[in-house]
Amino acid sequence: MKSMSVGAGSVPWKSIEVKRAPSGAPSVLLHGAAAELAATRGIDEMAISLTHTAMTAAAFVVASSHAR
């Protein structure tokens, strides 16, 4: 949600999905309200990086538009 410049709770958490490709690379899939929000903001790509240890986890997402 932050990558789309809105606060937590602006769209349902379940409308944002993280999938893993056969290669192991993660990707973001948006559904419902999250997909609508991205469309209104011109976002057509989201890149995600994930990391974790036994005690912590972190994710970094960059939302971008390739429209000109």
Q: Where are the domains of the chain?
A: 2-51+59-63
- CATH H-level superfamily of 2-51+59-63: 4'-phosphopantetheinyl transferase domain (3.90.470.20)
The upper half-sphere exposure of residue 44, i.e. CA atoms within 13 Å in the direction of its Cβ, equals 5
Q: Determine the Cα–Cα distance for residues 38 and 1; give it in Å rounded to an integer.
A: 10
Give yes or no for residue 66 having a pLDDT over 90: no
Half-sphere exposure in the Cβ direction for 21 (13 Å, CA): 6
Summarised one tens digit per residue, pLDDT across range 4-58 is 989 888 999 999 999 999 999 999 999 999 999 999 999 999 999 999 999 999 9
Q: How far apart are CA 5 and CA 68, in angstroms?
A: 20
